[in-house]
Amino acid sequence: MLQVVGLTKKYPESGIIALDGISFSVGEGEVVGIAGRSGAGKSTLLRILRGVEGFDQGLVTFDGLRITPSSPKADLLELQRKTAIQLQRSFGLWPDSAVDNLIRALRYSDGFDETVPEAEGEYKEYYDRAMEILRVVGLDKRAGLWSEVLSGGEKQRLIIARQIARRPKLLLLDEPGTMTCPATREALLDALKRVNRELGIAILFASHNPQTHRSLSERTMLIDRGKVLLDGRTEAVLDRFLSGIEDPIEKTRIDGPVVLKIEGASKTYKLIPYGTVFEMAETSLEFRRGEIAGIIGPSGAGKTVILRMLSGLELPDRGEVRITYKGEWVVLGKFGRKNMLARRRIGVLHQEFDLPHFARVLDLFAAKLGLKDYSSLEAALKRGKREGLSDEAIDALSRVYELPEGEMKAKLTEMGISQDLLKELFRSKDPEKARDVALTVLEAVGLSPGILDRNVYELSGGEKIRVALALSLIASPKVLILDEPFGDLDPITLRMVANSLKMVKKKLKPAIVLVSHQLDLLEEVSDRAILIVDGKVVMDGDPSSVVKKFLEERELGV
């Protein structure tokens, strides 16, 4: 069904050869995996096969279509019609219920506008079709919830459901199930196998997770530096892939002071007409400098809620979150100059982080310093005062600016505020002045200085994650909050990042709070682990013991 011959892709700005004469085929209804290190060319290959990225040489033949570097737009649109893709870390969902997201996709696949029908009979017809797809991906019981309140893993399944609704002949998946707990990932992989078996949809997927390959495909391709190194039996390919992993560096114990704490905090989310959709019970936790605290739990347990409260981006309904600043405790639930300056020493890497596609990496560091540098914040307060804005308002706007991009834009629209105001208040530093600071944090995450002059679209998925981690370190944070950031890193790069986290801990001594569904990583780097189930802290202690309890509860279906 799919034949790829001599596919070559170069990025002329940086001289990077993303794909170097790749050739392979996929049969009708076949499931094929792609493994390889970050930067190997996997995501680029999937985007080309989807028809959304050009290439320099080669031929793609798919279901009667012949795609070349000079193919007309009509052929690319036809390729897009016959395929569907789930992009790495993509959260492009409508601010609707899960079922209405599916109805929109079904309408589009039927040749209509991507709208929800108003006629009762027509809506019922689409509703029934949408519910069947939601059942396949295990979201039928979450059908009425808005996409914004779904967990990261649930959002990823909803995105895949939207792609299934397009009735493609080939489903392209970039890191499926990376941000889900083990049980949810297994459910998703089972759903994909049902999609392949019952609907006959061929699947070509890229994944860094060896278990995903073992579960989904008997055949896997290993790609490195744009070339196919090996194409064959999955287990043999994985053995070769994992042979280059480096050894873990030893953990060091640092007994630092408590710098961040939650005191009796609770949070309830309600949606009309569904009532309470999530409730976080009264929680008290402390976090010390030089300590890595891992947080685990099933998808939707409340892990992200806690992290957002710790960063001051979400306020508890009751209780307080406090951080130390100049020898005193500052309440993050209050707004003002002191609160904003205290928060600048909190680095955050969101689960839904997204780097602007066409931005230069150095400019991203300059912009981040505009929001985290002490003198930049003082200048923002002065500009705000001239505009008649209070310190409290400037602090509130700085928090909005730190939200994931999609959420930030929605919040600004709700407030009736232009994004230009934020850019004017929190002006970027001069890029060349930002370079020295950027070089220091890039070294900490294992990236070379040359990456600063590349554009985001030239980066691999793994490079984007490490750039985002470096951005969160830009102000030498006292607290570093990481929300499932490493799920789509290959095992070799993941070990490098794990070692980098240990070095960051040793050099900068921040309190690091890490949410991860990768239990091996969490055990390897954490000094302490916290298990959260249904909005409650179930256990707090030795990482190995906490992971063991989590796995036991999962086996029991708790």
Same domain, 48 and 195: yes
Same domain, 232 and 296: no
Q: For residue 400, tell me if it sits in a domain.
A: yes
Reported as type and span, the H/E element at residue 453 is: none
What pLDDT band is residue 244 in, cutting at 50, 70 and 90?
confident
- Side-by-side strand order, sheet with 2-11: 16-26, 2-11, 57-62, 65-67
For 264, residues 6+ apart whose C-beta sits below 8 A from its C-beta are 282, 283, 284, 318, 319, 320
Same domain, 499 and 525: yes
- Domain final residue pick, 206, 221, 244: 244
pLDDT at 45 over 80: yes
CB atoms within 10 A of CB 53: 16
pLDDT at 182 over 90: no
Task: Say if residue 548 is exposed, middle or buried (CB neighbours under 10 Å; 0-12, 13-18, 19+).
Answer: middle
Report the chain's mean pLDDT, rounded to a whole number: 89
CB atoms within 10 A of CB 255: 9
Same domain, 215 and 263: no
The encoded tokens of residue 95 equal 């601010």
- Side-by-side strand order, sheet with 258-271: 275-288, 258-271, 318-325, 328-331
pLDDT at 88: 65
Q: Which amino acid is at 318?
A: R
- Whose tokens are 């750039």? That residue is 467
pLDDT at 558 over 60: no
Q: For residue 253, tell me if it sits in a domain.
A: no
Q: For residues 171 and 188, which has the higher predicted lDDT (pLDDT)?
A: 171
Q: For residue 281, tell me if it sits in a domain.
A: yes
| Residue numbers of the domain that contains 201 | 2-244
Same domain, 310 and 361: yes
Same domain, 317 and 184: no
Same domain, 182 and 91: yes
3-state secondary structure 35-54: ECCCCCCHHHHHHHHHCCCC
pLDDT at 274: 65
Cα–Cα dist 244/222, whole Å? 13
pLDDT at 457: 85
Portion of the chain with pLDDT greater than 70, in percent: 96
pLDDT at 31: 97
pLDDT at 25: 96
Characterise 146 by phi-psi region: left (phi > 0), alpha (psi -120 to 50), beta (else).
beta
Per-residue b or e along 128-157, where b marks 16 or more CB atoms closer than 10 Å to that residue's CB: eebbebbebbbbeebbebbbebbbbbbbbb
Same domain, 43 and 158: yes
Which 3 state secondary structure label does DSSP give 323? Answer: strand
pLDDT at 89 over 70: no
pLDDT digits (tens, 9 = 90+) for 445-484: 878 999 999 999 888 777 888 899 999 999 889 999 999 8
Cα–Cα dist 445/468, whole Å? 10
Portion of the chain with pLDDT greater than 90, in percent: 58
Answer yes or no: are the C-beta atoms of 188 and 171 closer than 8 Å: no
Looking at the structure of the chain, the number of domains it has is 2
Cα–Cα dist 452/467, whole Å? 9
Half-sphere exposure of 128 (CA within 13 A, CB side): 5
Q: For residue 252, tell me if it sits in a domain.
A: no
CB atoms within 10 A of CB 387: 12
Q: For residue 249, tell me if it sits in a domain.
A: no
Same domain, 126 and 224: yes
Q: For residue 143, tell me if it sits in a domain.
A: yes
Reported as type and span, the H/E element at residue 545 is: helix 543-556
Phi, psi of 145 (to 5 degrees): -80, 145
Cα–Cα dist 406/409, whole Å? 5
CA 549 to chain centre: 26
pLDDT digits (tens, 9 = 90+) for 91-100: 678 888 999 9
Strand pairing of 258-271 and 318-325?
antiparallel
Task: Say if residue 445 is exposed, middle or buried (CB neighbours under 10 Å; 0-12, 13-18, 19+).
Answer: buried
Strand positions, DSSP E, 227-306:
227-233, 258-271, 275-288, 292-296
Phi, psi of 336 (to 5 degrees): 155, 180
- Domain final residue pick, 193, 221, 244: 244
Same domain, 269 and 366: yes
CB atoms within 10 A of CB 183: 16
> What does the pLDDT average to over 169-198?
82
Same domain, 211 and 286: no
| Cα dist from 62 to 26, 49, 129, 453, 491, whole Å | 10, 9, 28, 36, 32
The encoded tokens of residue 170 equal 């080939």
Q: For residue 250, tell me if it sits in a domain.
A: no
| Cα dist from 101 to 44, 134, 155, 174, 404, whole Å | 27, 10, 11, 20, 20
Cα–Cα dist 490/274, whole Å? 40
Same domain, 237 and 263: no
Q: For residue 233, tell me if it sits in a domain.
A: yes
